[in-house]
Structure 1
Amino acid sequence: MIHPRSQSLRDARPARAPARGRALPLLPALLLTLCLATGARPAAAQSSASPVLQRIQQTGVLRLAHRESSVPFSFVADGKPYGYAIDLCLRVADALRTALKLPGLKVEYVPVTPANRIAAIVDGKADLECGSTTNTRERREQVAFTIPHYIAGIRMLVRTDSGIRKLADLRGKTLVSTTGTTSLVVIRQINGSGAMQLKVVEAKDHAEAFGMVEQGKADAFVMDDVLLYGLRANARNPASYTVTNELLTIEPYAIMLSRHDAEFKRLVDKAMVDSIYSQDTQKLYKKWFQSPIPPQGVNLDIPMSYLLRDSFKFPSDKVAD
């Protein structure tokens, strides 16, 4: 919750006289007047209004949900979570240490999949989901999103020798996408009329979907382009795969958090905006998109798009649906 503007003590009007026979104790009355005058809230009110912050203060732990194979946003290498979104969440953790005066705040990692990532936030198993999740109207009915940190587009990954270069080339063929993703929704909408006669297959994660194209079990993997580039770059023979030019949708990625804790969201939003204005986010972008990254030291070499650059000029959690 954003605190109301402060007003001076001289502007605070005297409280109306208490009802007959019910004297208002002096100390509580003074405390109430001070809270109203300064915009502050009693500690009990703050705790009850922010269940996530209350739990963090009680346990000294911030729980970050991460993915297994969403390169370069959130993935596991050598048994440890890495990625652009992970680093951004760690910047939020640093901001919370200062704001909550918890220098010993620890980070606990919670592995999630595309299918259960939203439930992890809704059920309170994680405080932040640090991955490659698109901010959509449908998802905002269950969770909240902070400032977008990437703007992707849905494209197709195919074998270079397949001859497939656009959606029309897939008539009667097999497409794979990952369970619980907006890409899968787009495929089903395209195939809704039946004119394309597509066979749509679901994979449990991005690595499995890529493997189906690699093994010839699917003709194309439809997914956010940056994830396709990451999988291609880390393949045994990257030149064997092509990411098509045809753009199907625009996808603004953002960190997920509870939609029932405005105070926690206010602190997270502030941390994200501060990171953008200090150029820290832009440095992290260069680290993960324009430099060698684990596990194989591959450079994705993806320049920042003009859409993301422009969004960083006026950072906001509002996106076009």
Structure 2
Amino acid sequence: MFASLTGAGIRIGFQRNTPPFSYSPTAGFRPIGYSVDLAGLVLARIHGGADRVPPIEAVEVTSTTREGLLDAGRIDLECGSTTITDERRRRFAFSRPIFRTSHRIALKGDPGPRDLRVVGIQGSTSQAALEAEPDPGFGYAFTGVPSIGAARDAFLADDGIDAMVADEVILRSLLAGEARADVRMLDVRLGGEDYGFLLRKEDGELRRAVDEALSDVFGSPEYRALIATWFAGELPGLGFSLEMDPGDRSFVSES
């Protein structure tokens, strides 16, 4: 068995504000979501049953802290909505893909003919996808912030911000509960990429075990129920449903 997944407990990094993948609808940090449940199914297979999994310590991370916490050994793996990129692969390892996504832009009000002032996570794949698009259909100026929660808050509360760019599913989730009739999603989709569980490069044996467990999970009835829970049903604690069908839209990567 793997040293990082035995002993007193398993430390897994989860985010607070990335529904339906990982979010905490209560004041304390008790994350739930697609990636949280998927991690539980994977660990159950690795350990030979859910009742044999050591205690799991959920460690709160953000898009800017997750890599540093993993590198420093503060977490054993990160399970959320981390995009698999060549740059990250030079420093870390990834599981096989767990989800396929693209990026969208939400617009509030009517900014008229001027360039859009777009907020997003600084250094994120959403920013990269926006900047790589040769003709998104509008001019823009990008404002970078450190987290998805900060991007949402700026978009909703700052009159100097017109739009927000983020992963499509997370963006839909963050805005679905907001009672703003002037918010709409632009038609343009940016990029196309996979999410994976993030691990240390030296944990090759663990990565192989995670991949083997994921392969088994993806073909199981448990996984079909998981998809229905987080993408078709009402999200616990949030009071709304994404009403998505990941099978039809090929959100779930088979690679």
TMscore range, shorter length: 0.7 to 0.9
CA shift digits 1:203-248 (9 cap, x unpaired) = 222222122221223111011111110011121x154321211111
Asked if 1 retains the 8 angstrom alpha-carbon contact of 2:98 and 2:253, the reply is no
2:124 matched to 1:181? yes
Identical positions, percent: 27
Distance 1:55 1:211, change over 3 A: closer
Please point out which of 289, 292, 299 is paired with 2:241.
299
Q: Which has the larger radius of gyration?
A: 1
The residue aligned with 1:73 is 21
Asked if 1 retains the 8 angstrom alpha-carbon contact of 2:246 and 2:252, the reply is no
The residue aligned with 1:162 is 110
Distance 1:271 1:231, change over 3 A: same
The residue aligned with 2:61 is 112
* Post-superposition offset of 1:281: 2.1
- Residue identity opposite 1:82 in structure 2: I
Distance 1:154 1:310, change over 3 A: closer
- Residue identity opposite 1:69 in structure 2: N
Please point out which of 66, 74, 98 is paired with 1:125.
74
The residue aligned with 1:34 is none
* Post-superposition offset of 1:163: 6.3
Larger relative CO (CA 8 A, sep 6+): 1 or 2? 2
* Post-superposition offset of 1:96: 2.8
The residue aligned with 1:16 is none
What number of residue pairs does the alignment pair up? 250
CA shift digits 1:35-77 (9 cap, x unpaired) = xxxxxxxxxxxx8xxxxx12433x2311110001001101111
Distance 1:267 1:91, change over 3 A: same
Which of the two has greater strand per residue?
Answer: 2
Please point out which of 55, 58, 83 is paired with 2:33.
83
**1:273 aligned counterpart, secondary structure:** helix
CA distance in 1 between counterparts of 2:171 and 2:53 reads 38
**1:114 aligned counterpart, secondary structure:** coil
**1:281 aligned counterpart, secondary structure:** helix
Please point out which of 24, 43, 46 is paired with 1:96.
46
CA distance in 2 between counterparts of 1:82 and 1:253 reads 17
2:233 matched to 1:285? no
Unaligned runs of 5+ in 1: 1-46, 48-52, 317-321
Distance 1:213 1:111, change over 3 A: same
CA shift digits 1:85-118 (9 cap, x unpaired) = 011111122123228x992611011111111112
Asked if 2 retains the 8 angstrom alpha-carbon contact of 1:153 and 1:225, the reply is yes
The residue aligned with 1:63 is 11
- Residue identity opposite 1:110 in structure 2: V
Asked if 2 retains the 8 angstrom alpha-carbon contact of 1:148 and 1:254, the reply is yes
CA distance in 2 between counterparts of 1:256 and 1:274 reads 19
The residue aligned with 1:227 is 170
* Post-superposition offset of 1:132: 0.9
- Residue identity opposite 1:93 in structure 2: L
* Post-superposition offset of 1:84: 0.4
CA RMSD after TM alignment: 2.6
2:205 matched to 1:263? yes
Asked if 1 retains the 8 angstrom alpha-carbon contact of 2:100 and 2:252, the reply is no
Distance 1:198 1:246, change over 3 A: closer
2:156 matched to 1:214? yes
1:140-155 aligned within 5 A: 140-155=89-104
CA shift digits 1:238-286 (9 cap, x unpaired) = 5432121111111211111122122111111111111111132222111
Distance 1:251 1:296, change over 3 A: same
CA distance in 1 between counterparts of 2:175 and 2:111 reads 17
Higher deviation after alignment, 196-205 or 146-155: 196-205
CA distance in 1 between counterparts of 2:248 and 2:53 reads 39
* Post-superposition offset of 1:296: 2.4
Asked if 2 retains the 8 angstrom alpha-carbon contact of 1:225 and 1:243, the reply is no
